[in-house]
Amino acid sequence: MAVSTRRLTTGARKHGYAVPAVNVFDEISMRAVIAAAEEKDSPLIVQVSTKTVRTSGTAFITSLFQALTRHTSVPVALHLDHCPDRSVLSDVIAAGWSSVLFDASDRDLADAERETTEVVKEAHAAGVDVESEIENILGVEDGVGSDEAHHAYSVDQLAAIAERTGADLLAPQLGTSHGLFTSKPTLLPERARELAHLTDKGIVLHGGTGLEPADFRAFINNGVSKINISTAVKHAYMQASAEHLDWARANNHWDPPKLMTAIGDAVTSVIGDHIEWFGSDGMAAKAKAVKP
């Protein structure tokens, strides 16, 4: 089954790279991102949104992941992205995924801490790691999130709360936002560094689509070990679909497997670029060597 997300990010921080955590929503995209990781010999985290879990079902996604990773040469984890819903979390934890992101950023601090502690207890009992988000990351993605900062805390508070809840990874506000940027964001790599000085827990960058390779490197050098990529996948998927359908119409040639190949190749290519920017290419063996 899936490898531990915490082990992958621990190895990444030790060796100075970030593990790409890529959102997928169907067989084509899951197959394509795993192919990119294999081509580049990179560890990988396959992520699925709560919305996709609700649409496709936990059992189907779990089986699909198992089928597609049965013979992979690289370590691949399976992660539930932003989930504020305790029943979906319980379902995924019971299915034995690598990790879940409990998104408590819509709760007040006291409730966020209490509920995160409960989720960590439930997840750890099943061998599942927990990413914790108590500050809200700007932007709306698959129906989760907000464009306003409701909850913002100091790095000392974030580190102290993470220690008390027992979470394995942290998703702080680092200046990015979900979706495509409308204006150049003010990035906060120094905030990642301050947090990395206070805790060994994995630090996660959300909303990375549209950043320059040098921006990713600055975050990684300051302690970020997991970088989420979602919008870039959706964009590559839809652009390749549109181009292929234009071609199909022009040539009156209607062959679904050709469309699927065109989409898969585009997604594999864009994720291959991100893997190189994150420095995780060629790191599969180092990732596998991290002790539990």
Contact residues toward Zn ion (CB under 5 A) are 206
Residue 104: C-alpha distances to residues 170, 186, 291 (Å): 12, 24, 30
Please indicate if the annotation marks 231 as binding a ligand.
yes
Q: How far is the CB of 255 from Zn ion (least distance, A)?
A: 36
The verdict on whether residue 124 carries a ligand-binding annotation is no
Token digits of residue 271: 């994720």
Q: Which is nearer to Zn ion, 40 or 206 (CB)?
A: 206
- 3-state SS record for 160-216: HHHHHHCCCEECCCCCCECCCCCCCCCCCHHHHHHHHHHCCCEEEECCCCCCCHHHH
In the residue annotation, 81 being an active-site residue is answered as yes
Q: Which residue is nearest to Zn ion (CB)?
A: 206
Looking at the Cβ atoms of 229 and 275, the one nearer to Zn ion is 229
235 annotated to a ligand binding site: no
Q: Which residues contact 182 (CB under 8 A, 6 or more apart)?
A: none
Closer of 84 and 264 to Zn ion (Cβ): 84
Q: Is 166 assigned to a binding site?
A: no
What distance in Å separates the CA atoms of residue 77 and residue 87, rounded to the nearest whole number? 21
Task: Tell me the Ramachandran region of residue 101: left when phi exceeds 0, alpha when psi lies from -120 to 50, beta otherwise.
Answer: beta
Active-site entry in 81, 91, 129, 142: 81
Cβ-based nearer residue to Zn ion, 191 or 206: 206
Residues 6 or more apart in contact with residue 4 via CB below 8 angstroms: 77, 98, 99, 129, 292
CB of 250 to Zn ion, least distance (A): 38
Nearest distance in Å: CB 155, Zn ion? 19
Q: Is 117 marked as binding a ligand?
A: no
Please report how close the Cβ of residue 145 comes to Zn ion at its closest, in angstroms. Answer: 8
Catalytic residues: 81
Q: Residues within the annotated binding site for dihydroxyacetone phosphate?
A: 179, 207-209, 228-231
Q: Residues within the annotated binding site for Zn(2+)?
A: 82, 103, 133, 178, 206
